[in-house]
Amino acid sequence: MSVILEGGCRVSDFKEGAPRRHGTLCVWPQVGRAVGAQAISLRTLELAPGLSPGLRRAEGDEVLYVLSGEASLFIDGWRYAAGPEAGFYVRPGQTLTVENPGPDPLVLISSQCPEPPDACEPLAPLIQPLPGAEPPGRPPRVRLSDRPALPTADRWYRVLVDDEVGSTQVTQFVGAIPPGRAPDHFHHYEEVLFILRGRGRMWAGRRHTPISPGSCVFLPRQQVHCVENTGDGELRLLGVFYPAGSPAVRYDPD
C-alpha cells in the first residue's frame, strides 16, 4: 500500500495495483500525473514469453532498466540483447518491441520524461528496420558494468543514460549507499527512485517509511529528503531525474 510523506513524496511497491494488459505486456504505473508528477513517470513493465506489441510515444524520452530476465529489445527494428543491469534509451517517436524467448518474464523499470498526456495505443510489432532506415549513431544500450563508479562523499554512483548516450533531457543512474543516514538535501528537479537491494527508510522532512527491494519513490522538486540504510551491507538504488544533470549535485536545506 502506498505511503504519502511530506511534500507529496510517495512510496509504493513496484507491482502495486491492477496492471494494464496489452498482449504479452503487463504495466504497473506507480508514478505519473495521477500522483502529482509533472515531468516524470515510473512504471513496471513485465513481458511474458512471446512477441510484444509495438510501443511508441510521439514526444518525451523514455529510459528502461532491466531488472530481471533476458530478451531481445527492438528499437525501430534494430535488435539489442537485454539482460539484468542494462539501461536503454528510447528516443521520441521510436518504436519499442520485445521478443522474449522465455521461459521467464522480462521485467523492465521504465521512466518517461515527461509522461505522455494520453496512454499510448499498442502498434504492430516492429522487428526489422524500415527500408532505407539509417542505423543509430549511438548505441541506446548501456551496461552497468561498463560504466565507471564515481565517488561522492561515502557513496558511489554509475550513470547509465545521459547525453553521452544521446539524451539531453533525462539522467538514469545506479547509486550505492552504505549503512547509516545521509544528510538531508533537496534537488531542483523531480526524481524517481527504485530500490534494487538492501533495506532502509525513506525520509521526507520529519516523516519516514520503510523501503526494500521493489520500493518505488517519487520526490517532487525541492522536497527535502534522504535515504537511510538500516542494514549491514550496501543499499543500491536506481534513480532517474528530469531535467538532466549530475547525481552528485544536491542542496542543503536552510
Mark whether 151 and 215 lie in a shared domain.
yes
Q: Give the position of cell 521520441.
A: 92
How far, in Å, are 109, 172, 186, 223 from residue 74 at the CA level?
A: 17, 20, 37, 37
Pairing of strands 55-56, 95-100: antiparallel
pLDDT < 70 stretches in the chain: none
Mark whether 174 and 84 lie in a shared domain.
no
What pLDDT, on a 0 to 100 scale, did the predictor assign at position 166?
Answer: 87
What pLDDT, on a 0 to 100 scale, did the predictor assign at position 248?
Answer: 84
What pLDDT, on a 0 to 100 scale, did the predictor assign at position 154?
Answer: 80
What pLDDT, on a 0 to 100 scale, did the predictor assign at position 136?
Answer: 85
What pLDDT, on a 0 to 100 scale, did the predictor assign at position 20?
Answer: 93
Mark whether 150 and 236 lie in a shared domain.
yes
Mark whether 99 and 167 lie in a shared domain.
no
Mark whether 127 and 68 lie in a shared domain.
yes
Among 119, 141, 163, identify where a domain stops: 141
- DSSP for 49-115 reads SEEPPBEE-SSSEEEEEEEE--EEEEETTEEEEE-TTEEEEE-TT-EEEEEE-SSSPEEEEEEEESP
What pLDDT, on a 0 to 100 scale, did the predictor assign at position 152?
Answer: 84
Tell me the residue range of the domain where 192 lies.
Answer: 144-242
Pull the grid cell for residue 187: 534537488
Mark whether 177 and 155 lie in a shared domain.
yes
What pLDDT, on a 0 to 100 scale, did the predictor assign at position 118?
Answer: 73
28 part of a folded domain: yes
What pLDDT, on a 0 to 100 scale, did the predictor assign at position 140?
Answer: 95
Mark whether 91 and 200 lie in a shared domain.
no
Mark whether 132 and 153 lie in a shared domain.
no
Q: Give the position of cell 532498466.
A: 65
Mark whether 25 and 135 lie in a shared domain.
yes
* Structural domains in the chain (count): 2
Mark whether 123 and 21 lie in a shared domain.
yes
Phi-psi group of 180: left, alpha or beta (phi > 0 → left; psi -120 to 50 → alpha; rest → beta)? left
